[in-house]
Structure 1
């Protein structure tokens, strides 16, 4: 009886660990996620820190007829500081299911008495016909999708799209659902 219990516990731990770390290539580097992605069969997305913790990789994982697919969709690179994933959510943009990511970098610049604390960028990815995601929106297409949190005379001014609710409202008003 004792051996059966030990085998059951070991098998349960193996099964749970394979489900939890089904996304990405390093379960110890998870920055955000995994998040269930109902657009794909057994789909999940996740965000992992690179080994040097400077970059963040956006992964997608799902089941296909050819087996399990685990691929990098994008890499958010170090830019004066390591990239941080602040918010992730699913929504519909331009009639397609989308993943929206709010990124930030601690920049800490000083110019003309103004301190720039964080740089923010919003990126949106639409589903593709080949069961993946592609970049749909970023600051190259819409300059409002990036900005700074600043401090001037001890007054902090936040970036206008600094949370999921504000981002969703802006994106739906400009790009529809």
Structure 2
């Protein structure tokens, strides 16, 4: 882990951006340059756009698998294949450096709720209607306080006239 802490994420993403820009002139994966450009944005605005840093880290990890699939499906020269593999290998320390930077800012990866050594994580679900919250809700054992009447009750009305059945298809008014 000491090796990863010694890496500079800004230099890694800058080199990855330049390298993928150079490779974009040849037959290479077209998504590498946009991902690294997004990484430059995420690295520059890491304090205000924390979600961007986390998103870039996930995109970088996913692009490693797409690089392997892309190289299997597309033929290219040996030199360009070598450079594409070098870019693929550059993604590993970049991913580790950005993953560590995101984790130091409190990132949660995979939606598992694992933050550092906290295996329990946050509550995954809550009762509908806010029953898991105590604010504004009453416990089952509490007594119901008497509610003041907002308006006086209406006096009972007199006897009602019997309702006559209307002919089928006729309108009836009440």
Please give the range of the TM-score, normalised by the shorter of the 2 chains.
under 0.3
Give the TM-score, by structure 2 length: 0.19
Please tell me whether Structure 1 or Structure 2 has the larger radius of gyration of its CA atoms.
Answer: 2
- Of structures 1 and 2, the one with the larger relative CO (CA 8 A, separation 6+) is 2
Question: Greater helix share, 1 or 2?
Answer: 2
